Amino acid sequence: MARDTETPYKLDKPEKLNDLLRADGADDCAGCRIVGGGAFLGLGAYSYFSGMSQIEQQRAKIIASKSFLGVRSRKAGIVATSLGLVWMGIYRLVM
């Protein structure tokens, strides 16, 4: 009977991360991955195209404001954000 109970030493020892990740890994169905990945891919595309069109519409105001962040750095920010969202979509589809 004493063998079935948990000892204080065993309770203090943390569980291995690999064992926890392996037990938690297969919770997603294929449809969930497709919808989630497609949502991130669509959001990345929308972010890129709408952001670039907004910058082109506001180009004169941005240049006239002589802001520290010019047109090029704003475009780089939009590209980085869009690429991050697309990467999350690809990761969601594959992993």
Helices (H), the chain: 8-12, 17-24, 30-57, 59-65, 71-94
The reported pLDDT for the residue numbered 43 is 97
pLDDT tens digits for 40-53? 999 999 999 999 99
Task: Note the pLDDT tens digit of each residue in 54-85.
Answer: 999 988 888 888 888 888 899 999 999 999 99
| H or E stretch covering 70 | none
Angle CA(29)–CA(35)–CA(36) in degrees, nearest 5?
A: 90
Please report, for the chain, the start and end positions of each structural domain, with discontinuous segments joined by +.
Answer: 29-94
Give residue-wise pLDDT tens across range 2-26.
555 767 666 677 778 887 777 776 6
Measured distance CA(59)–CA(77) in Å, rounded: 15
| Confidence (pTM) | 0.68
